[in-house]
Amino acid sequence: MKPREIIPGVLAVGAQDFDRRLFDALIPLPDGTSYNAYLVRGRDKTALIDAVEPAMLHVLRDCLKDVPRVDYVVSNHTEQDHSGGLPWVLERYPEAVLLSSEPAKPMLADHLGLDPARIRTVADGERLELGGKAFRFIYTPWVHWPETMSTYLEEDRILFSCDWFGSHMAQTDLFVDGVDCILAEAKRYYAEIMMPFRKIVQKNLDKIKDLDIRLIAPSHGPIHRDPASIIRAYRDWTDDKPHNSVVIPWVTMHGSTAVLVERLIDALSSRGVTVFPFNMATADIGKLAMSLVDAATLVAAAPTVHVGPHPMVLNAVVLANALRPKVRFASIVGSYGWAGKMADTLKAAMPNLKVEVLPAVICKGLPKPSDLEAIDKLADAIAAKHREAGLF
């Protein structure tokens, strides 16, 4: 797309990637994504904020073709979807100084082979005058790499936040106006990459709480005109108290585990507990991650393959362990044919989860009435734990 004016002197010069369907060879992108970059023109100096994914560099090149001079290039985040175009930018504008946080400087050299002599680090809170417009750089680490920072444009009260407050969405409109699903999209993105750093995200939210913000311009997805709404959502997602919900990643091979899962869904639901089941044979792991943002309990449900859990469920547990949601309770449900260590393997795969593990329900072959009773007892135990925790 061509450069588009956000406000006078601030242009969107990034790329919309409508066709991309996978990020990091892991994260589904049902709505594509964008690699936003911004050009800020002061009276004296011009600055570019972030570059784009290398595959979309042609869009940035086209947007900058009539921009003869760039004095500063701000790298808010080193990951290549925002920094991949920097080598070209620095070659195109030999006068430009690349500005980054202190931790980012070696990372820019490592990941992109940039000459450290072109990079000037900025301190947390440092100001930079462009003439009639000034940046303030705010270190916001771990959203989601250690070096990440945000850039605040003081006069126009725009926070260029890079990944946080962003969403993987491609669209032609600049702003979130009319995008009903924006909080769901942003939650998905938070869940996928920022949830492991929830406590630090809370600190970053505290750090910007007194900023007078008119617009939040992230580096993925549309620009927020109502900063309070997305900030409030981040407060909720990072809050220590989970919701009264259970996430069940499950798979069945010959139907036994499915019977247990169906019983557990009904039993929990009838006890007032919300359930989010995910058949891992077909599930969107982004939606699984979203449900884990608020869940109080994780129940992994798997049949036994040889001696271990079905790999699709083990994969879901490994993912949950990596994402470190605020779950407080966990259990295992499943089936086996003759023997196995399915439950032990799944429990061992969640060391990062600070959970109380409730008794597992494992059946041999088809579930028997006693197995279904055990499922009901597990539902009783989960509901009681949620009630004790004040979740309902």
Q: Cα dist. 53→16, 48, 127, 188 in Å?
A: 10, 15, 27, 20
Least distance in Å: CB of 290 to ligand FEO? 18
Least distance in Å: CB of 65 to ligand FEO? 25
Per DSSP, what are the bridge partners of residue 309? Answer: 304
Strands 297-305 and 245-250, bridge-based pairing: parallel
Least distance in Å: CB of 79 to ligand FEO? 4
Half-sphere exposure (Cβ direction) of 391: Cα atoms closer than 13 Å:
26
Nearer to ligand FEO, 171 or 345 (CB): 171
Nearer to ligand FEO, 89 or 327 (CB): 89
Least distance in Å: CB of 144 to ligand FEO? 6
Nearest position to ligand FEO, beta carbon: 79
Nearer to ligand FEO, 222 or 309 (CB): 222
Q: What residues make contact with ligand FEO under the rule CB under 6 A?
A: 77, 79, 81-82, 144, 163, 219-220
Nearer to ligand FEO, 167 or 238 (CB): 167
Asked if 15 contacts 59 with a C-beta cutoff of 8 angstroms, the reply is yes
Q: How far apart, in whole angstroms, are the C-alpha atoms of residue 327 and residue 355?
A: 7
Asked if 335 contacts 363 with a C-beta cutoff of 8 angstroms, the reply is yes
Least distance in Å: CB of 77 to ligand FEO? 6
Q: What are phi and psi of 362, to 5 degrees?
A: -125, 130
Q: Of 152, 170, 230, 222, which Cα lies nearest the Cα of 194? A: 230
Least distance in Å: CB of 219 to ligand FEO? 6
Half-sphere exposure (Cβ direction) of 108: Cα atoms closer than 13 Å:
31
Asked if 276 contacts 306 with a C-beta cutoff of 8 angstroms, the reply is no
Nearer to ligand FEO, 78 or 256 (CB): 78
Nearer to ligand FEO, 31 or 371 (CB): 31
